[in-house]
Amino acid sequence: MDFGKLSDRIRRRMAAARVPNLALAVVRDGEAVFSEGYGVTSVEDERPITPETLFRIGSTTKPMVGVCVMRLVERGLLELDTPVKRYVPWLKLSDHGAANQITLRMLLSHTTGLPTEFRAVGPHNPAALEASLREELPHYKIFTPPGLLWSYSNPGIRLAAHIAERAYGKLFPEMLREVIFDPLEMNWSTCDPLEAMMHPLALPHCIVKSDQANKGTLQVEERFANNAARLPAGGVISNVLEVARFAQMLLGRGSWNGRTILRPQSVDELCRPQVRKYTPENDFYGLTTESAKRIGPGWIGHNGYSPPYRSRFIVNIEHGAAVSILFSDGEDFSIQGRALEKHIGRRLVPVEREDAANTKESGKESFDWSQFAGRFVGRDGTAAFIELSGDGAALRYDGDDYSLQVVGDDIFLCTEIGGRKRQILGLPPIAGHLGRYITINSSPFRQQGYFEEKWQSLVARVEQFQARFKS
């Protein structure tokens, strides 16, 4: 790989998207072979970014939570498939049955049905994690039955981290330092913004939109987000060299520089498929890791977004390769960051030429759409309709109409009619729930009226019982 040409490409694309800063580290054959910084820490003082410069890594924090949990599983202090009420007897959820079903495996694989929810600003005391969970969890709606579908949940990861800190005997930031940061010599990595500010730190920036005189220019944001109650969901601050070291530990199947963090079987469990995400590449989510099959076979990782910071993090254990990219998101550089990650990954581990997708217009002759016809609602209230027609089906989503093309047995590419938008529709073949759920871009949608019908059926049976009792 020509890293000089790669750097030129990065600088051009950063300038076009007005990205103030970016850092990159590349691991090949288990060794860090390239690292570089681009841009400045602040447009106000223009100190150059280096590989040591700190960024918030967002949800790339989550695999670190997974490592901590698996370390405690190895020690016999936690079990993945035991209901978590064993560890937090105070747990109360809006669905009382779910509180007795949810396990650590479900929390780490985002299959609890809990919401996404994240708040960037909040209390600064690390003990706020437990207090916030006790206060907030009873009010969250369980959107899908536990264990049924992938449904990204920050509260779920926070609960897993709290269970881990209880078992470990120290608060989350201390546990993270002792289990991961110190053994991997991630000396500048921290959850505390005040500690981070003692080192070179990429400051958050935004593009001015309201001030006509300065509209379109970059400026430093005046506030650095901090919420100790949400640290496990995305609060780690690190640099590409130290994130690459975490990657090297995964590539070493739990070991780095002669030090064992996890057993190989635990790393395998973190990376093993747990639940489908219903993508054209048939991606999966593991235990705080997710596949990146669009890059090629064997790639897993976890991206992060804590506005305006973004992280791209992938590893390929079989080939000893990894990529860490940290940057501030200028004028929507997220797509460019995704493309850069793919560009590097495919040069580290070349893939065979891809054939064009074997798509075809959907029709009733090849799929029984009657089970999925109707109105569906997403977690945020967005409506979707699957409508039958004489020769197949169509999707109406968020006010737009889409034609459907088959890209898998239960996955469809949706193309906006008369437009350029695209969505991915998944039809989960779940026993006992067929037709009750769909996914759009991996997010679950529930058929409207399903739970209302179940409730009405229950009420009717209660009324029948009461009538018999009175007679």
pLDDT tens, residue by residue, 130-140: 999 999 999 99
- Mean pLDDT of all residues in 82-102: 95
> How far apart are alpha carbons 296 and 53 in whole angstroms?
30
> How far apart are alpha carbons 269 and 286 in whole angstroms?
8
Q: Is the pLDDT of residue 457 over 80?
A: no
Start-to-end CA distance of the chain, whole Å, equals 83
> Who's near 297: CB < 8 A, 6+ residues apart?
351
- Mean pLDDT of all residues in 181-208: 95
- Mean pLDDT of all residues in 346-374: 69
Residue entry with tokens 């940290």: 326
Q: What are the structure tokens assigned to 358, written together? A: 């074997």
Q: Per-residue pLDDT tens for 300-315?
A: 999 999 999 999 999 9
> How far apart are alpha carbons 113 and 91 in whole angstroms?
15
> How far apart are alpha carbons 79 and 112 in whole angstroms?
16
- Mean pLDDT of all residues in 257-263: 97
Does residue 203 contact residue 237 with C-beta atoms inside 8 Å?
A: no
Contacts 24+ apart (CB under 8 A), 207-211: 207/18, 207/330, 207/331
**CA distances in angstroms from 470 to 460, 462, 467, listed in the order given:** 15, 12, 5
Does residue 366 contact residue 431 with C-beta atoms inside 8 Å?
A: no
> How far apart are alpha carbons 444 and 153 in whole angstroms?
12
The reported pLDDT for the residue numbered 123 is 87
Task: With cut-offs at 50, 70 and 90, classify the pLDDT of residue 213.
Answer: low
Q: Nearest 5°: CA angle at 185, between 183 and 187?
A: 125
The reported pLDDT for the residue numbered 383 is 94
HEC sequence for the chain: CCHHHHHHHHHHHHHHHCCCEEEEEEEECCEEEEEEEEEECCCCCCCECCCCCEEECHHHHHHHHHHHHHHHHHCCCCCCCCEHHHCCCCCCCCCHHHHCCCEHHHHHHCCCCCCCCCCCCCCCCCCHHHHHHHHHHHHCCCCCCCCCCCCCCHHHHHHHHHHHHHHHCCCHHHHHHHHHHCCCCCCCCECCHHHHCCCCECCCEEECCCCCCCCCCEEECCCCCCCHHHHHHHCCEECHHHHHHHHHHHHCCCEECCEECCCHHHHHHHHCCCEECCCCCCCEECCCCEECCCCCCCEEECCEEECCEEEEEEEECCCCEEEEEEEECCCCCHHHHHHHHHHHHHHHCCCCCCCCCCCEECCCCCCCHHHCCEEEEECCCCEEEEEEECCEEEEEECCEEEEEEEEECCEEEEEECCCCCEEEEECCCCCCCCCCEEEECCEEEEECCHHHHHHHHHHHHHHHHHHHHHC
Q: Is the pLDDT of residue 212 over 70?
A: no
Q: Please name which of 80, 98, 100 lies closest in space to residue 163, comparing C-alpha atoms.
A: 80
Task: With cut-offs at 50, 70 and 90, classify the pLDDT of residue 362.
Answer: very low
Q: What are the structure tokens assigned to 51, written together? A: 């590989």
Q: Is the pLDDT of residue 452 over 60?
A: no
> How far apart are alpha carbons 339 and 443 in whole angstroms?
22
The reported pLDDT for the residue numbered 46 is 86
Q: What is the mean pLDDT of the chain?
A: 90
The reported pLDDT for the residue numbered 318 is 97
**CA distances in angstroms from 450 to 114, 330, 437, 455, listed in the order given:** 18, 43, 10, 9
Q: What are the structure tokens assigned to 150, written together? A: 């992938």
Q: Please name which of 167, 87, 158 lies closest in space to residue 122, comparing C-alpha atoms.
A: 158
Q: Per-residue pLDDT tens for 7-63?
A: 999 999 999 888 999 999 999 999 999 999 999 999 998 899 999 999 999 999 999
Q: Please name which of 184, 311, 158, 327 lies closest in space to residue 247, comparing C-alpha atoms.
A: 184
Provide the β-strand partners of residue 54: 201
> How far apart are alpha carbons 346 and 336 in whole angstroms?
15
> Is the sign of the CA dihedral 187, 191, 196, 200 positive or negative?
positive
Q: Please name which of 318, 326, 313 lies closest in space to residue 298, comparing C-alpha atoms.
A: 318
